[in-house]
Structure 1
Amino acid sequence: MSGVTIYQVAREAGVSPSTVSNLLNGRPGRMLPQTRERVEQAIVRLGYRPNRAARQLRTGRIQVIGLVVPSVANPFWGTFARHLEGAALAEGYHVLLCNSERDPDRERGYVEELWADGIRGVVLCSSLPSLSHVLPLIERGLGLVAFDRTAQVGDPASLVNISVDNVVGAELAARHLLELGHRRLAFVSGSLRSVNRKERFRGFAAALEEYGLSTADAIVWSGGPEERYGDLDVADLGRTAARELIRDDRPPTAVLAINDMCALGVSAGIRDAGLRVGEDISVVGFDDIVLADLAAPPLTTIRQPLPQMAAAAFAHLRSRIENGDDASAGRSLLMRPELVVRASSGPAR
């Protein structure tokens, strides 16, 4: 329905127009929970769409945040975007999505455009060790949440980092394989230049050490120094890795892949060689994307609590935008991952 006004919403919900206005402008604390629910239901029934330009004039804020991800070609990022958008829409915000391919120049260009359009909050998902390429905008007041990245030396004081504990996640995955009797493990990653990938490798190494092994006893497959940094080809990278690993004089009995898309590629390469995933070679991924449970066999993986992480990212940005939180009060939030065991991992043969 077009042309619905705030007054019609108020009549439908049995409240005053000012109550509807409080909800639309991010002040739900001024009403009872049941009142808020009636107003939200009335908005949905009538198809009311608030006038963003008018709201900006009243509040001085644009109700939009930016989201810069490596690539939605990886379903992990599409799922995170959906959860972030859900959290934002529930509070009257919208999300603008950009794909950076982890290119610092491309990230800087997107963030500069978002800033120029009046957007003062951005979730940046590159996991690059340095954020110097966007530092000038942070110093000018941009609220930035770095997702899938832990705090690094040289970070600006106002930066908020939100991440799963990648070290613990990789430890859980590698320990699972070691407990199944595997002693010849491979770690397939592509480039190890990003913060999250380095941390997953640390977790892998820590689990090996716990069992009296070292990375010298394993195979670390990184694709060579020229391997691309982006996420687009990670499944092909996994398939290539599997083919090379199987031809090794001492092939691995189990593979820990840097993420689920890579793990699915590894699984395809194993099948290409006429071997069975989970029986001849076990495979474990990281992320628990929607495809993990649909794979054949279903993929053992490390689950990230994406709904909670997305809600936390939005809450930090909203607080910064609306309440003008102290720009020097940066913080880091580290969430615990979960091992999800499926049929792609089995006892060593």
Structure 2
Amino acid sequence: MGGVTIYQVAAQAGVSPSTVSNLLNGRAGRMLPATRRRVEAAIEQLGYRPNRAARQLRTGRNQVIGLVVPSVANPFWGTFARHLEATALEAGYHVLLCNSEREPDRERRYVDELWSDGIRGVVLCSSLPDLSHLMPVVDEGLHLVAFDRTAQAGDHESLVNISLDNVLGGRIAAQHLLDLGHRRLAFVSGALGSVNRRERFRGFSDALEDAGLDPAKALVWSGGPSHRYGDLDAAGLGRTAAAELLATPEPPTAIVAVNDMCALGVCAGIRDAGLRVADDVSVIGFDDIVLADLAAPALTTIRQPLAEMAAAAFDHLRAGIDSGDPMPGQSLLMRPELVVRASTSPVR
């Protein structure tokens, strides 16, 4: 039904227009559950659709936030987007999704467009160490939350960083394999140019050093300095890496992959070589995407608390948007969790 107004919804529900407005604008905290159900039923029956342009003129805010991820080709980012959207919708916000492939120019174009459309908050997930390409927009008033990235020297004073403790995650992954008796370990990644990947590798190296092994002698596959991050085909990257590593004179008995999609590709490469995952080569991933538990064998991995991290990202973003002023920069670090499944086993 076209042209339905907030007053018609109020009349249908038997409430005041301000009560309907409170629900639409995320201010239903003190509303009786029965009242909320009546208003929601009236909205559904009448087919009411809020006018976003009018709401922005009335409140001075655009109830939309931006989300810039490397690529939803990796299910990890699709899951994060789902959690962030669910949290945002509860507060009356919507989410616009952009895929940047970690290219600074592309990120800047997306963020410029979002800013031009009145969007004042963005969650950025590329984990690049240098975000100077976005600072002109931040200086204009954009509220930016960097996800899966720790604070770096030269960051803007208002930047919020929310991340897993990736150093600890990399250490836990390597330690799990060391505890199983493995000593020939490999680390597989695309380019090590992002903050999260560098930190995972650092944790991996720290665990080897603590075990009396020389990290410099560990097998590290990143595809070379010109290799891209592999966000569009992480599984293919892992498969190629496994083929090359297993063809070396002293192949690894265990492999740490930078993320789960890469790990699944590594598993495929192990099978291509006529070997068995876990029995011949143990594999551990990172993220705990939904495919990890469905793989055969199921993938041992490092779990990120995505729902909590998405909620924290939105809360920080909304606080900045609501204040209308630059917020002091903050950093939030969350703890990883080892999830042991069938893709790792004691060295033979």
Q: TM-score range by the shorter chain?
A: over 0.9
Cα separation, partners in 2 of 1:175 and 1:60, compared to 1, 3 Å: same
Give the C-alpha shift of residue 201 in structure 1. 0.5
TM-score, normalised relative to structure 1: 0.94
Superposed, which structure 2 residues align to 1:118-157 within 5 Å? 118-157=118-157
CA-to-aligned-CA distance 1:163-215 (integer Å, 9 cap, x gap): 11111111111111111111110000121111000000111011112211121
Give the C-alpha shift of residue 57 in structure 1. 1.6
> 1:78 maps to what in 2?
78
Cα separation, partners in 2 of 1:43 and 1:94, compared to 1, 3 Å: farther
> 1:312 maps to what in 2?
312
CA distance in 2, matches of 1:61, 1:39: 27
Give the C-alpha shift of residue 233 in structure 1. 2.2
> 1:280 maps to what in 2?
280
Give the C-alpha shift of residue 115 in structure 1. 0.7
Structure 2 gap segments, 5+ residues each: none
> 1:243 maps to what in 2?
243
> 1:335 maps to what in 2?
334
Q: How many residues align?
A: 347
Give the C-alpha shift of residue 32 in structure 1. 3.9
Verify the 8 A CA contact 2:167 2:200 in the aligned structure 1: yes
CA distance in 1, matches of 2:234, 2:79: 17
Matching residue's letter, 2:331? S
Superposed, which structure 2 residues align to 1:24-103 within 5 Å? 24-29=24-29, 31-32=30-31, 34=33, 37-38=36-37, 41-42=40-41, 45-46=44-45, 47-103=47-103
Verify the 8 A CA contact 2:63 2:92 in the aligned structure 1: yes
Q: CA RMSD in A?
A: 1.8
CA distance in 1, matches of 2:334, 2:35: 30
CA-to-aligned-CA distance 1:275-299 (integer Å, 9 cap, x gap): 1101100000001111111111111
Matching residue's letter, 1:319? A
Verify the 8 A CA contact 2:230 2:237 in the aligned structure 1: no
Cα separation, partners in 2 of 1:93 and 1:217, compared to 1, 3 Å: same
Q: What secondary structure is seen at the aligned counterpart in 1 of 2:72?
A: coil
Structure 1 stretch displaced more, 216-225 or 103-112: 216-225
Cα separation, partners in 2 of 1:253 and 1:128, compared to 1, 3 Å: same
Matching residue's letter, 1:38? R
Superposed, which structure 2 residues align to 1:97-246 within 5 Å? 97-246=97-246
Verify the 8 A CA contact 2:238 2:264 in the aligned structure 1: yes
CA-to-aligned-CA distance 1:207-264 (integer Å, 9 cap, x gap): 1122111213421111111211341122111101101111111111100000001101
> 1:265 maps to what in 2?
265
CA distance in 1, matches of 2:284, 2:161: 26
Cα separation, partners in 2 of 1:43 and 1:194, compared to 1, 3 Å: farther
TM-score, normalised relative to structure 2: 0.95
Q: What secondary structure is seen at the aligned counterpart in 1 of 2:290?
A: coil
Cα separation, partners in 2 of 1:40 and 1:162, compared to 1, 3 Å: farther
Give the C-alpha shift of residue 112 in structure 1. 0.7
Give the C-alpha shift of residue 38 in structure 1. 2.8
CA distance in 2, matches of 1:36, 1:273: 64
Give the C-alpha shift of residue 33 in structure 1. 5.8
Matching residue's letter, 1:251? P
Cα separation, partners in 2 of 1:71 and 1:44, compared to 1, 3 Å: farther
CA distance in 1, matches of 2:32, 2:292: 38
Verify the 8 A CA contact 1:164 1:304 in the aligned structure 2: yes
Verify the 8 A CA contact 1:20 1:39 in the aligned structure 2: no
CA distance in 1, matches of 2:42, 2:288: 35
Matching residue's letter, 2:279? E
